[in-house]
Amino acid sequence: MIDILMPRLSDTMEEGVIVAWRKKPGEAVEIGDVLVEIETDKATMEHEAYEAGTLHEILLPEGETVRIGTVIARIDDGREPLAGTPPRDGTSQGKPPAPATSEPPIPESGSAPATDPAPTEGGAATSPPARRPLATPLVRRLARDNAIDLNEIIGSGPGGRIIRADLDRALARSPGATGHSVPAASGGATTPNGGVPTGATSVPFDTTRQVISRRLTESSSSVPHFSVTAVADVEELLALRARINAELDDAGQGKVSLNDLIVRASAVALREHPGVNASYSEEGRGATLLHEHVNIGIAVASDHGLVVPVIADADRMAVSRIAAESRRLVGLAKDRKLSGADMTGGTFTISNLGMYQVESFTAIINPPEGAILAVGAALPEPAAVEGAVAVRHRIRCTLSADHRIIDGALAARFLSTLTSLLEHPLRIIA
């Protein structure tokens, strides 16, 4: 038995009107046959069958206005409902309709009889929480990655399956993810519906932007951040890099960037301070998860948005290999070819805005990691060297840390190790 649900036929549709049933109960239905005409907020559209069978019953008559996701008819495909398929409670705004078929409806096991008291708003809330909503594998993965509860989303795919389009709409609606919410105080600039203010252009989020928006809102609002900054004199580091690159150049190999050396130094420092290479866990009374591997994410600003590919086991890689891996990942990011695997498993992130001559900045932690390092440019500046003022290249490193698992002293010790490595760079490559 297949439930036919009120489909979502436009982006803004919340409910639809059943204009005309084009099949009668008992009639054979082929894939692609028009079942019903539905009026949306925009137009009247034909809704076709995704599956073949016999129209078993029409649950809602013509003229009825119903929310999307409501069961409006059933097709008998000769099969029992799948185990685990959640029954869909009707959320019709009208009274429970009389079945349009001459036969009494056959209640499916587990489904609420039509005579039940009117369900509460958003029928999913009345279902037992253990039920597994129908969703495509892509949706399940995205929901997992973005900590989205699928029970809160109404599916508009075949049989009420949650498809990516439903998830995108839910993400776009969720608080913190809207790009242009304007405070009420701004008055006349907004349209009555709180839409796009006059004189502004709305650029809808793509998936990458949605993910950034959701994750960083979550991190910024739920993780207690604090930040610590330290300065490192990188004269020796720059000299070492020049020497390494001269050698690599002779060998015909790709060059090593300052960032590659910082990745390596951070990895070594993280190995020394495992408490920073950690994540917060809600388990029990709360716990610190110490990661066995040091996997460093590098924030890459590609044309397609901010992405964070991960260099796995960076503490066990030579700088030249980190450089090669970093080049590969940045290349993939530019071509939008990073796989999920390239971007998962990070235990710490480095964001480097040095190329823009930024002196220092603070970054938002990339959850579920425990800390993120924001690296500024290596700029020449006056510095006290052995009691005299000299012009030295120095960089500022700012660590943002999750205070639930990392205290100020630990963050400071980590930064101290890191700056010491950067100032004595042979230890980075030793």
Partner 1 sequence: MSIMTYRQALRDTLRTEMRRDPDVLLLGEEIGVFEGSYKITAGLLAEFGEKRVRDTPIAEEGFTGAAIGAAMLGLRPVVEIMTINFSLLALDQIVNHAAKIYGMFGGQARVPLVIRTPGGGGQQLGATHSQNIELYYAFVPGMKVVAPSNPADAKSLLLAAIRDDDPVLFLENLALYNAKGEVPDDDTPGEIGRAAVTRPGRDITVVAYSRMAAVALTVAERMAQTDGIDIEVVDLRSLRPLDRETVVDSVRRTHCAVVLEDDWLTYGIGAEIAATISDGAFDWLDAPVRRVAMAEVPLPYAKTLETAALPSADDVTTAIRQTLASVGRRAGKDIP
Binding site for partner 1 (CB under 8 A): 8-11, 31-32, 45, 48, 50, 136-141, 156-158, 161, 163-166, 204, 339-340
From 37, 92, 50, select the one nearest 69 (Cα to Cα): 92
Please say if 403 is a catalytic residue. Answer: yes
Residue 222 near residue 368, CB atoms below 8 Å? no
Residue 181 Rama label (left phi>0; alpha psi -120 to 50; beta): beta
CA angle, 292 then 297 then 302, to 5°: 165
Q: What tokens appear for 392 in the block?
A: 């030295």
Residue 374 near residue 353, CB atoms below 8 Å? yes
| Cα dihedral: 289, 294, 299, 300 (round 10) | -140
Residue 11 CB neighbours (<10 A): 12
* DSSP tag of 13: -
Residue 370 near residue 276, CB atoms below 8 Å? yes
Q: What tokens appear for 131 in the block?
A: 């039920």
Q: Which is nearer to partner 1, 104 or 137 (CB)?
A: 137
* DSSP tag of 151: G
| Cα dihedral: 29, 31, 32, 33 (round 10) | 0
Q: What tokens appear for 245 in the block?
A: 């690159």
Residue 201 exposed, middle or buried by CB count within 10 Å (0-12, 13-18, 19+)? exposed
- Smallest gap, in angstroms, from Cβ of residue 202 to partner 1? 13
Residue 202 near residue 196, CB atoms below 8 Å? yes
Q: Which is nearer to partner 1, 172 or 330 (CB)?
A: 172
From 68, 53, 76, 87, select the one nearest 18 (Cα to Cα): 68
- Smallest gap, in angstroms, from Cβ of residue 141 to partner 1? 4
In the set 291, 293, 403, 424, the catalytic residue is: 403
Provide DSSP, 39-50: E-SS-EEEEE-S
Q: Which is nearer to partner 1, 50 or 226 (CB)?
A: 50
Q: Which is nearer to partner 1, 50 or 361 (CB)?
A: 50
Backbone torsions φ then ψ of 7, nearest 5 degrees: -80, 160
Strands of 145-254, DSSP E = 225-233
Q: Which is nearer to partner 1, 102 or 339 (CB)?
A: 339
Q: Which is nearer to partner 1, 138 or 412 (CB)?
A: 138
Q: Which is nearer to partner 1, 20 or 138 (CB)?
A: 138
DSSP helix/strand/coil, 220: helix
d(CA 374, CA 398): 5
Q: Which is nearer to partner 1, 164 or 413 (CB)?
A: 164
- Residue numbers annotated as active site: 403
